[in-house]
Amino acid sequence: MISHNKIKFISCSVIAAVISTLGHNALAHTRLEVPEVSENIRVTNNVVIGHGCGENNVIGTSVVFPDGVDSSILVDGQPHTGDLTEFIQNWGNLNTKIYSKAVFTFQAEKPDANGNVSGFWAGGGDSLPHDMSGYIPFRTSAALIEPTSCAASVKFYISIADICEITPASGFNENTVNFWTHNNLGTIYDRVSTTDDGPASLTILRSETNPLPASCGTGQVVEVKPSAAQINRDMPIIFNGNQVWPQ
């Protein structure tokens, strides 16, 4: 006969296993620690790497923010042909890497032709164990939503590649790289899966000190995703002037 204490131990073990599984699943995707921020506030944030490539550890990560130059813009789900500045005033250089060797030894920002930071990468040193999460810190400066716009929020889709093996593009598979990207841009970095929401996101929320114009009603939801040209330009990792990923 199983004793009361043994039954209690088994029950507690099962509950602990369920909680552990739920916690792991909640962090399964690579996402931002703080996915929503209010305008006018500078925020320290983290890219949270959820897991490795199967049983393979993560050796680096590449992060790309939409630059707003040739990005695709949706307003309440419909394509918008205007400029991002109609909705947010100062997006160009808001996101900067915070130096940290907590996970990877090497890191750098990705400047565009105007010197604005459009992303960053980190890698090298010890690898991140495949069954653990890793925090890659960065900072978002105070964003300003255009007061005359009807934008209640502006959501930026952030493309991320968690790299487990350095390969050419022909070597991309579930054991070498995890892509948290769009699946329809037409780049070599597109995510294959169509069953999840792909990229991470950062949403700028309109503050109470910047009220919507009376004509806007409840306001508009604005979404911004990068162009294929930007992803092809900014996703590779350049180290000491040489492209190290993909090979």
Count other Cβ atoms within 10 Å, centred on residue 19. 10
Partners of 237 in beta bridges: 245
CA 22, 24, 30: angle at the middle one, nearest 5?
Answer: 125
> Has residue 68 been placed in a domain?
yes
Q: How far apart are the first and last CA of the chain?
A: 62
Containing H/E element for 5? helix 4-26
In the structure encoding, which two tokens stand for residue 166, read together? 């350095």
Structurally, how many domains does the chain consist of?
A: 1
pLDDT at 239: 95
> Has residue 23 been placed in a domain?
no
- Taken in order 133, 136, 138, 143, the sign of the CA dihedral is negative
> Has residue 125 been placed in a domain?
yes
pLDDT at 21: 40
CA distances from 113 to 5, 84, 214, 222, 226 (A): 67, 18, 39, 26, 16
Q: Which residues contact 141 (CB under 8 A, 6 or more apart)?
A: 42, 93, 94, 95, 96
Reduced to 3 states, what is the DSSP secondary structure of residue 45? Answer: strand
> Has residue 235 been placed in a domain?
yes
Give tens-digit pLDDT for 38-63: 999 999 999 999 999 999 999 999 99
Q: What's the rounded Cα separation, in Å, for the pair 89 and 86?
A: 7
> Has residue 19 been placed in a domain?
no
**Residue 88 burial (C-beta neighbours within 10 Å; 0-12, 13-18, 19+):** buried
All residue ranges of the chain with pLDDT < 70 are 1-27, 194-197
Reduced to 3 states, what is the DSSP secondary structure of residue 4? Answer: helix
Give tens-digit pLDDT for 155-193: 999 999 999 999 999 999 999 999 999 999 999 999 987
In the structure encoding, which two tokens stand for residue 15, read together? 């509950």
Q: Which residues contact 216 (CB under 8 A, 6 or more apart)?
A: 150, 152
Partners of 63 in beta bridges: 120, 160
> Has residue 4 been placed in a domain?
no
CA distances from 82 to 72, 79, 221, 246 (A): 10, 9, 15, 34
CATH number, position 183: 2.60.40.2230
pLDDT at 192: 87
Q: Write out the E strands in the chain.
A: 31-32, 36-38, 43-49, 58-64, 72-75, 78-80, 95-97, 106-111, 117-128, 134-140, 151-163, 177-180, 200-205, 220-225, 237-239, 242-245
> Has residue 119 been placed in a domain?
yes
> Has residue 221 been placed in a domain?
yes
Say whether pTM exceeds 0.85: yes
pLDDT at 197: 64
pLDDT at 114: 86
Which of 15, 93, 18, 30 lies closest to 63 in space, CA to CA? 30
Distance of CA 124 to the CA centre of its chain: 20
Q: Which domain holds residue 220?
A: 29-245
